[in-house]
């Protein structure tokens, strides 16, 4: 079976530490539940991602070289 998370076209997904996510939420003045969602069954998620975790997704961008977004893992 193919490991989708290792494919060149799948952006890097990393579980964010609680202290780092607190800084991000404070910067944007939002709650964790305001973040876009990603399902736990998404093949691109790291194996250690659990429901309620926040995942940082880093994509290549033509305008800024890299774009960082955060997603809340849901069931």
Tens digits of residue pLDDT in 10-67: 788 899 999 999 999 999 999 999 999 999 998 888 888 999 999 999 988 889 889 9
- pLDDT for position 40: 93
pLDDT recorded at residue 30 = 95
The whole-angstrom separation of Cα 6 and Cα 12 is: 9
pLDDT number for residue 47: 86
Answer CATH for 4-74 from 3.40.50.620, 3.90.940.20, 3.90.1150.10, 3.40.50.300: 3.90.940.20
> What pTM was computed for the model?
0.82
State phi, psi for 47 to the nearest 5 degrees: -60, -30
Cβ atoms within 10 Å of 61's Cβ, excluding its own: 10
Give the up-direction half-sphere exposure of residue 51: CA atoms within 13 A in the CB hemisphere.
Answer: 3
Return the pLDDT at 1. 61
The domains of the chain are located at 4-74
């Amino acid at each position: 079976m193919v490991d989708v998370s290792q494919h060149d076209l799948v952006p890097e997904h990393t579980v964010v530490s609680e202290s780092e996510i607190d800084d991000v939420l404070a910067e944007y003045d939002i709650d964790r539940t305001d973040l876009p969602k990603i399902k736990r069954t998404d093949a691109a998620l790291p194996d250690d991602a659990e429901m309620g975790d926040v995942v940082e997704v880093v994509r290549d961008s033509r305008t800024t070289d890299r774009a960082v977004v955060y997603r809340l893992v849901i069931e």
